[in-house]
Amino acid sequence: MTQSLNNNINTHPTGRLNVLLVEDSFAVAQSFTFLMEEYGWHIIGPAPTVEAALELIDKQKIDTAVLDINLQGQVVTPVAEKLQNRQIPFIFLTGYGSTETMLPESLRDLPTLLKPVNEQDLLNTIDHLLK
């Protein structure tokens, strides 16, 4: 099991980092959930739609988020903007390469990983966001 680099973040009752996972592919969501839970983080979701993600943001304490850009044909922009407004760091995931045509200019320079995502890159990117 991989050791968490975020032992100083105590926002979940068990002292684990709360990560919102927004992903519409069941297999990908299941894989990421397993990976991040093994790393010691608490997963909120996964949320397969923009609406489900927005609801979770309103109801849960979130420390960071992993957002698939395209959710069943709907771009995740409203979720990203809500997280930005609350100053919650997040990363984008995409299988489409360039995000220029999918995201507004204000979101294009944020951390983005291309699918298929290297597991260690995902963990390292989230760790880097929180420093």
Pick the CATH number of 18-129 from 1.10.3720.10, 3.40.50.2300, 3.40.50.2000, 3.40.50.410: 3.40.50.2300
| pLDDT tens digits in sequence order for the chain, 131 residues long | 344 444 434 344 556 899 999 999 999 999 999 999 999 999 999 999 999 999 999 999 999 999 999 999 999 999 999 999 999 999 999 987 766 678 888 888 899 999 999 999 999 999 998 88
Domain spans, the chain = 18-129
Parallel, antiparallel or unpaired: strands 74-75 and 70-71: antiparallel
Within the chain, how many helices (H) and strands (E) appear? 4, 7
Report the candidate in 72, 60, 76 with the shortest Cα–Cα distance to residue 110.
Answer: 76
What whole-number distance in Å separates Cα of residue 100 and Cα of residue 78? Answer: 16
